[in-house]
Amino acid sequence: MTAADEHDAEHGDAEHGDAEHGDAEHGDSLTARDLAPQRRARIRAIVESRRAARLEELSVALGVSQATVRRDLDELEAEGLVRRVHGGVIAVDERTGEPHFEVKAAEAAEEKERIAARAVAMLAPDDTVYLDSGSTVLAAARLLRGWDRLTVVTNSLPAIVELAGRGPRLIVIGGEFRATSQALVGPLSQHLLQNIHVATAFIGSYAVSLDDGLTTTDPAEAFTKKLALERASQVVLLADSRKMGEHSFVHAGQLESVDVLVTDTGIDEGIVRSLERRGITVIKA
Amino acid sequence: MTAADEHDAEHGDAEHGDAEHGDAEHGDSLTARDLAPQRRARIRAIVESRRAARLEELSVALGVSQATVRRDLDELEAEGLVRRVHGGVIAVDERTGEPHFEVKAAEAAEEKERIAARAVAMLAPDDTVYLDSGSTVLAAARLLRGWDRLTVVTNSLPAIVELAGRGPRLIVIGGEFRATSQALVGPLSQHLLQNIHVATAFIGSYAVSLDDGLTTTDPAEAFTKKLALERASQVVLLADSRKMGEHSFVHAGQLESVDVLVTDTGIDEGIVRSLERRGITVIKA
DNA sequence: CGTTATCTGTCAAGAACTGTCACAACCGAG
DNA sequence: CTCGGTTGTGACAGTTCTTGACAGATAACG
């Protein structure tokens, strides 16, 4: 191993020396061979364009021996520009790791679950309920597994997947799929929605304020949410206390449409009184 | 996105003598074998697109021995990217991280995939296409990943899950969820469906007969299928040859509504002639 | 002009990869 | 429950790839 270190160190010095030599160029155009930095640039270009290359190919393409290519690749790998594998080299991008980043769900899971459970307790076994998008409402959806006399209407893809074939009769409103909220929203959702009516709607909201009512970040989302509010006899808003008093971009419903708010114990008492004055029953789970 | 390289082609044997010490000065490397990471990436792609694969298939597709495939699968399983089962390998759901179909779902998969590929080849990048329920159409849906200028309208839950957030604009018709077909069907589906129109519809069918046209097992399913047929300028029927000549319970559409049939080479020539006499273009994939 | 340092190609030993084989484990049919 | 065919496992051998050492070649420096 010490031998290897020594070798690498020498190699490093060589690198610098060569670079310096680079700007003192003699116009020696007769050299049939690339200088080392040029050669490495060509290797990078080849590897990047093809995503991978085998030693043999590079050796032929550059007109040098495989040993030289190896040394170049060692250097390039040390700089993190490529990744050596048995038999050749692959571009760094091609790593097989896990690129997903969608794991914020477990955040306030426990709180959401208490809220969800309290809301679900309001349902009768043979009710018809609308489930909006959003993580808190999704938690409620999970609790409805096995309720085989229930009818669920929803626009939330996770809720659909959660309940598909697992008890409740499942009705999906149509619409355009929006990736951010994983829900079906927009003008197209009105066609089916206008033809149905549900006893209870579980609504989630990005933000709730006394002045602006329900607000959310996306117009299409707001459109569908508003429509859903109108199609329910009883509207139950599921929102943890951090969402209270906040407001977002687009108006998504009047506070007057809401009959019940299920939230957590962290809610401000002043807000509770204001809401109750407006005829909203507040339940702290 | 993922370099969908299809540089298979020449895996005759190309193993032994020919790639000797640097004599191949004919530029291109015709006999290039995949590097191990490339090979594993291809295995992932195949398994993911089909949900499952048998060892034999992978071995043939990649041009390596089954032993090598096994070792690769061991590696991939250790990384949690696939799950090995007796006889082959199944994909793991990226979201939930757990199982999917059975290996035997991949039995006729190759045939379905060829049909699907042939059908997809008929689409333009910015088309609007309706995807019906059914496994063959689902295979087509998988091929549409990354088509980010396409608009997809569908009633198939697996198709939705497959395409959600992965390229195409996704529009879901509403309706009642039917577990057997994993699709949204029934009268409620008409409300949105009646308000849209698509250039092309990919339709699956449980059975196709010259006398009864398209038939299926469920009335609600039939209702929605019929409606979808009317909303498309061009109707493409995807059905393997075993479905030809069969008939099921409920009428789900006239043969006259169909413009193109994409099927496999096993179809009876007499049936082909009858269909073509009726103005249907028959494509054998 | 000679010396020195670096770079490059060749070589041999060792490691890694792949395919083949024999045998154990498993599955479905009767 | 047994049986026959299929699939998985471990060991082996052949091949390819890598590593480190060495020697010749090239260019910089005094």
Q: What is the pLDDT of residues B206-261, one digit of tens each?
A: 899 999 999 999 999 999 999 999 999 999 999 988 889 888 889 999 999 999 99
Which of residues A30 and A257 earns the better pLDDT score? A257
Contact residues on chain B for A91, CB-CB shorter than 8 A? none
Decide: A252 and A205 in contact? Cβ < 8 Å. yes
Distance from CA of B277 to the nearest CA of A (A): 38
Given a cut of 50, whether residue B263 has pLDDT beyond it is yes
Q: Quote the CA–CA distance of B189 and B175 in Å, as a whole number.
A: 4
Do B188 and A195 lie within an 8 Å CB cutoff? yes
CA contacts within 13 A on the Cβ side of A240: 15
Distance from CA of A5 to the nearest CA of B (A): 28
Decide: A275 and A269 in contact? Cβ < 8 Å. no
Kindly report which listed range (A92-106, A132-146, B267-281) carries the lowest average pLDDT score.
A92-106
* Nucleotides on chain D within 7 angstroms of protein Cβ: 6-11, 15-21, 27-29
| pTM, 2 dp | 0.75
Rg (CA), chain B: 21
Measured CA to C1', the nucleotide nearest A17 is C6
Distance from CA of B129 to the nearest CA of A (A): 14
Residue B250, Cβ neighbours under 10 Å: how many? 18
Q: Looking at chain A, which residue has its C-alpha nearest residue B40?
A: A96
Decide: A167 and A148 in contact? Cβ < 8 Å. yes
In sequence order, what are the beta bridge partners of B176?
Answer: A171, B185
Separation of CA B29 and C1' C18 in angstroms?
20
Q: Are strands B250-253 and B213-216 parallel, antiparallel or unpaired?
A: antiparallel
Q: Quote the CA–CA distance of B238 and B136 in Å, as a whole number.
A: 7
Arithmetic mean of pLDDT, A111-133: 95
Mind listing the pLDDT tens digit for each residue in A163-205? 998 899 999 999 999 999 999 999 999 999 999 999 999 999 8
Strand locations in A132-225, DSSP E? 151-154, 169-172, 175-178, 183-185, 198-204, 207-209, 213-216
Do B177 and A191 lie within an 8 Å CB cutoff? no
Per-residue pLDDT, A93: 58
Report DSSP state, residue A7.
Answer: H
Strand locations in B116-247, DSSP E? 128-131, 151-154, 169-172, 175-178, 183-185, 198-204, 207-209, 213-216, 232-238
Decide: A179 and A109 in contact? Cβ < 8 Å. no
Separation of CA B153 and C1' C28 in angstroms?
42
Per-residue pLDDT, B96: 52
Residue A218, Cβ neighbours under 10 Å: how many? 20
Q: Looking at chain A, which residue has its C-alpha nearest residue B156?
A: A172
